[in-house]
Chain A
């Protein structure tokens, strides 16, 4: 039986960032108590079929989980531990926003077994933070980061965003150098995407957007600077010191089983995909899963390819054959041949992996495998 990864969604924020299309609200904090109750119930009810499965990672994301009183996180962790077999060495992460968690709160997290923090910095320039609609300054972040180290967290991720309107390659370099100077174990560096329905999307004409070529220059700068600083690019947008890749996210990309709790959360276990309701009102009335889709073999093969290829380690040929009972070249001969010809994919022994160019235009590659 495979290990499980658990995801817990906390959809509350102090303010919605302008780029954010995640399921989160800045105006529902009055529902927090009832929501956490429901979450607890959902976790409690879920274990039935999955009882006895070992849990190797837990990720508390949002939203801004660090907005909640620490005790609520403690309660949830208690319920998880009473229902599931959480491995001793499980990776337990929580997302933290600068300014919303002090040393005390962080210390409590450690007591509950949380051993990894993901802190959203995004930029080391205050004016860029303002453009993004963030509620904190660079100084706020630094305070949180130092508090985390003092509390004893030795596995910290910092989130960054490039291609912010008005950003230059120079200011982006500042951000990268600043973060390297702090020496976190993990860095996620995303290129800003305009998502439908966000503030940026609705006001797109008011901003000076970074053009495609500059965007790529920034991205390439990210890879080279972080590489020099000892971070290994292990996924399109993720960098880590050796051995510090995020185990939880790796489960998504490697087709492992995971269960999500809370509104909008997705799960995938034993070949079936589930999705919870997006409506907090429905959720509070006890409605949870609203969609369940059994995966066909074709679905699973496509996902194996387009999720696996996100990892710079690529996909394993024997891994594919073992999982699906036939060689990958039987299924995707044509696509692989084309991509290798166009220098988007490398064929290296047991592995197919994206080239640098392939990473830049990975959607183009992935679409071929659908």
Chain B
């Protein structure tokens, strides 16, 4: 099929505005699948994604549309993750497209992620056209939303299709608009091969499957390809395009097409998203712009609850990493928790997803330490350390100063909540940048916030202080100097490495006090009194005490049913075995987890 009959596009939207549902409708309406064959949401094929209603990994699907002009068009719909943790992946997916459909909720209007994603699309020179979804809702106000789109984004919206993806209303219009408004791809099929990797997955039969957009040239079975950034070279085994949930092999992929390549590659690390694939025998002069290696933003320690499961955890992480190049891990040892791994993630959502997959798909019981960001420690001898584990912080007298990562955040909020949201940002050490009113009632707040202030529960706090209306997006800005200290927890005067974390000097006391209170409730009484202390630089700043056990008795023991009493005692003994030994104190696993949720109250 010639380039004139190809449309490569994606859908951008704020979370819950109906992106995946529209994608499903497009796939359905183009007739590649019957309704019966469709899974509820074809593009999201991981269970977890379906449950959380989010899209984790970008994927693509090719369908055939017969337009009103009687001609057939190939639609390559590339799905993008909607969450800020996966911003870089979004940007690479967009780079594989020529245009984008902007879905806006007819009732809610523009949200922070709508803006973030649409700007990202415009940055990639995509032609963006809006559709207004959920017009069947009683609260729908399409005219207001059209004005909002024009005022705020500056793109034409008066003839935007008014649709309900859920009800199947207005889908034909969307399909025609794709043909009319999204430009056909360009690029010389006879030039040297230049293809953009926008995703890759590991398949146990085919090895790594590279998802790519061919910018120039062509690729077929037997072509010797090279990843320009990683330098990996392999001979192509198969090329093809994406059916819904299936790989359909074909002869050749050429400039303008979207498809996949397999080449017996064993590790997704060799096929980094954003890298350029070229022909090793006839390479292109320059790679495509914009490749960067994604760095982990959030780190935490992950330990098996049962120490004997350490090899299982290692195997599970290995397997997950086959499909997720942005997951980092390396072995570490904690005095309190034994053998485990320090793991790096794109963000907190990414962390939660990995943790959940480890627990669910690999049946592992985990103890995780408080998530932290990567701090830069400038030592007096000039050395700079990237600190991912608080326990590795050098002695205070060896530190010149420390830096922490800061993000630029945009918060979209209704007028009435501006005050409380600004207060929240203030509490989280935010630096106010600006307020822009979108309409008289809605504003876009811009702040710079330290990343470590938002990785815990910022999103929840935002929602609760705006009755669910505020939306939020951020991007990494850079490192800034800050007054940071390491907060240590001592149980019965022994420092517990797994509970140490880095905190801003001003909040050290408050955090320390909350940790002590939480731990006091979690640690059972022992034969002796147990002090729980928070310390900064060896100085105690907070203390609680677990009083000595006074009662542990089965008052009643007769009736002859000794077996039952024995079972009770056995249960008690078993419970002890599952505890972590800190000196002479037995600490339940739950205590380590409880301190992760300090800000609930």
Task: Give the size category of B's interface with A.
Answer: 20 to 34
Per-residue B-contact encoding for A303-329, CB less than 8 Å = 1, 0 else: 100110010000000000000000000
**A361 and B551 within 8 A (CB):** yes
| A46 sits at the interface (CB 8 A) | no
In whole angstroms, how far apart are the Cα atoms of A297 and B525 in the complex? 33
* CB of B594 to closest CB in A, whole Å: 21
**B562 and A193 within 8 A (CB):** no
Per-residue B-contact encoding for A178-219, CB less than 8 Å = 1, 0 else: 000000000000111100000000000000000011011001
* CB of B570 to closest CB in A, whole Å: 6
* CB of A69 to closest CB in B, whole Å: 24
**B550 and A216 within 8 A (CB):** yes
**B562 and A307 within 8 A (CB):** yes
In whole angstroms, how far apart are the Cα atoms of A363 and B566 in the complex? 10
**B562 and A363 within 8 A (CB):** no
- Taking chain A's interface residues, is the majority helix, strand, or loop, or is none over half, making it mixed? mixed
| A268 sits at the interface (CB 8 A) | yes
**A260 and B560 within 8 A (CB):** yes
Number of A-B contacts (CB under 8 A): 96
Chain A residues lying within 8 Å of B563, measured Cβ to Cβ, are 266, 273, 275, 293
In whole angstroms, how far apart are the Cα atoms of A22 and B556 in the complex? 11
In whole angstroms, how far apart are the Cα atoms of A293 and B561 in the complex? 12
Task: Give the size category of A's interface with B.
Answer: 35 or more
**A361 and B553 within 8 A (CB):** yes
| B52 sits at the interface (CB 8 A) | no
Q: Which of A236, A265, A366 contacts B569 (CB 8 A)?
A: A366
B residues near A (Cβ < 8 Å) are 525, 527, 547, 549-563, 566, 568-570, 572-573, 576
Chain B residues lying within 8 Å of A303, measured Cβ to Cβ, are 562, 566
Q: Which of B550, B553, B568 contacts A362 (CB 8 A)?
A: B553
Q: Which residues of A, 230-267, contact B by the 8 Å Cβ criterion?
A: 236-237, 249, 252-253, 258, 260, 264-267
Q: Which of A61, A265, A266, A363 contacts B554 (CB 8 A)?
A: A363
Chain B residues lying within 8 Å of A216, measured Cβ to Cβ, are 550-551
Chain B residues lying within 8 Å of A252, measured Cβ to Cβ, are 557-560, 562
* CB of B560 to closest CB in A, whole Å: 4
- Taking chain B's interface residues, is the majority helix, strand, or loop, or is none over half, making it mixed? loop
Known contacts A303-B562, A307-B562; decide if A370 and B569 are in contact (CB<8 Å): yes
**A237 and B555 within 8 A (CB):** yes
**A236 and B553 within 8 A (CB):** yes
**A360 and B562 within 8 A (CB):** no
**B550 and A258 within 8 A (CB):** no
**B555 and A236 within 8 A (CB):** yes
**B553 and A249 within 8 A (CB):** no
A-B contact pairs, 24 of them (CB 8 A): A193-B554, A193-B555, A193-B556, A212-B550, A213-B550, A216-B551, A237-B556, A252-B557, A265-B560, A266-B561, A267-B560, A268-B560, A293-B563, A303-B562, A306-B569, A307-B557, A359-B553, A360-B551, A363-B568, A364-B527, A367-B570, A367-B572, A367-B576, A370-B573
* CB of B27 to closest CB in A, whole Å: 51
| A84 sits at the interface (CB 8 A) | no
- Which 10 interchain pairs have the tightest Cβ spacing? A361-B552, A266-B560, A190-B555, A266-B561, A216-B550, A363-B552, A367-B573, A191-B555, A364-B552, A249-B558
In whole angstroms, how far apart are the Cα atoms of A363 and B561 in the complex? 16
Q: Which of A191, A192, A268, A361 contacts B562 (CB 8 A)?
A: A268
| A7 sits at the interface (CB 8 A) | yes
> Which partner residue on chain A sits nearest B568 by CB separation?
A363
> Which partner residue on chain A sits nearest B554 by CB separation?
A363
In whole angstroms, how far apart are the Cα atoms of A268 and B256 in the complex? 84
Known contacts A212-B550, A370-B569, A370-B573; decide if A266 and B555 are in contact (CB<8 Å): no
| A342 sits at the interface (CB 8 A) | yes
* CB of A357 to closest CB in B, whole Å: 9
* CB of B568 to closest CB in A, whole Å: 8
